[in-house]
Amino acid sequence: MPVPGPFRLLLVALSMVFALSAQDGFKYPIPEKLERATAKDDKGVEQWVAFEPTKCLACSGTGKVKCPTCERYPEEATKCVDCNRSKDRMAVCHTCAGTGQTVDPLTKAICPGCQGAGGVICGFCPGSGLLTLGEDKRWSNCLGCRGKGFEKCGVCNGQRLVECAAVKPSLKDANAAALDKALTATDDALKALSAFSPMAKNTRKEQKELARLIGLSQQIYPPLKRTVPVLDGLMATVSASSGYQNLTEREVAAMGRIKSGAEYYLKHQKRMIELAKKRAEANEALQAENKGK
């Protein structure tokens, strides 16, 4: 049976503050404040309460928000990964993947490659698909993406959400030892990523280092393994701007975008592992106590 108290905690946690993505201006829940309710059964075992979706607070349950991407680009541009330049300029909510409801954090997470956009915007044009170069006032196709503006995300295959940690038998039901091992690996990966600061002084070397850091925990997190090719593809669009102004800024921004997505995903997973570990430890302690009687 649903337990009102824990669900109130979930709603409070989600409504406190939203983190603001540096990539796209969309709002995301602060991962450290996420909650997932449990309740004891008639034998005293902590069980996960069946997840009941609530209204997404980022989009007020509509599944759409005012497109922040289009607000940054002129009307002449025709491409947008978020709203496709629709008349009302409304974009699919990245937080709930357009469902208008909260997503069970034990089973799905926002994609680290696109941060819920479903596509990865070009690192040259940033997503408009068009450019004006030099004194030429006419619009022409971007050299990086050849006018497309973005590519379907190879991490989530355009679905905006990805799977959680690959802990056996599952994140929900793994034992404390397995979860503790996953938590250590996650902490190590987060520490390494937080120490990385793209400067674009030696871009190729930095790109390889970022790919290595993202891959540190890929055995536990398959989405991060799939993020490395997305990084390579994004940097390829940036390299097309070689010879034009602000190349360094674009390289730093592109690497920073992928780093940010990976960090958010890992923080989300860390929180879920902590909650799952707490449940597992309580149940294992109860089992040991019953065995000793």
pLDDT for res 76: 53
Parse the chain into domains and list their residue ranges.
Answer: 4-292
The per-residue pLDDT for range 128-175, each reduced to its tens digit, is: 777 776 666 677 788 888 888 889 999 999 999 999 999 999 999 999
What does the pLDDT average to over 83-103? 87
pLDDT for res 85: 77
How does DSSP assign the chain, residue by residue?
A: ---HHHHHHHHHHHHH-EEE-TTTS-EEE-GGG----EEE-TTS-EEEPPP---B-TTTTTSSEEE-TTGGGS-TT----TTTTT-TT-EEE-TTTTTSSB---TTTEEE-TTTTTSSEEE-SSSTTSSEE--TT--S-EE-TTTTT--EEE-TTTTTSSEEE----SS-TTT--HHHHHHHHHHHHHHHHHHHH-----SSHHHHHHHHHHHHGGGTTT-HHHHHHHHHHHHHHHHHHTTTTSTTHHHHHHHHHHHHHHHHHHHHHHHHHHHHHHHHHHHHHHHHHHHHHH-
Given pLDDT bands bounded at 50, 70 and 90, which one contains residue 176? very high
Percent of residues, the chain, with pLDDT higher than 70: 86
Residue 292 clears pLDDT 80, i.e. is over it: no
- For residues 253 and 265, give the distance between their C-alpha atoms in angstroms, rounded to a whole number: 18
pLDDT for res 130: 76
Judged by average pLDDT, the poorest of 21-30, 82-91, 165-174, 194-203 is: 21-30
What does the pLDDT average to over 233-250? 87
Pick 176 or 25 by higher pLDDT: 176
Given pLDDT bands bounded at 50, 70 and 90, which one contains residue 75? low
pLDDT for res 278: 97
pLDDT for res 189: 97
Given pLDDT bands bounded at 50, 70 and 90, which one contains residue 258? very high
pLDDT for res 42: 95
Given pLDDT bands bounded at 50, 70 and 90, which one contains residue 35? very high
Residue 14 clears pLDDT 80, i.e. is over it: no
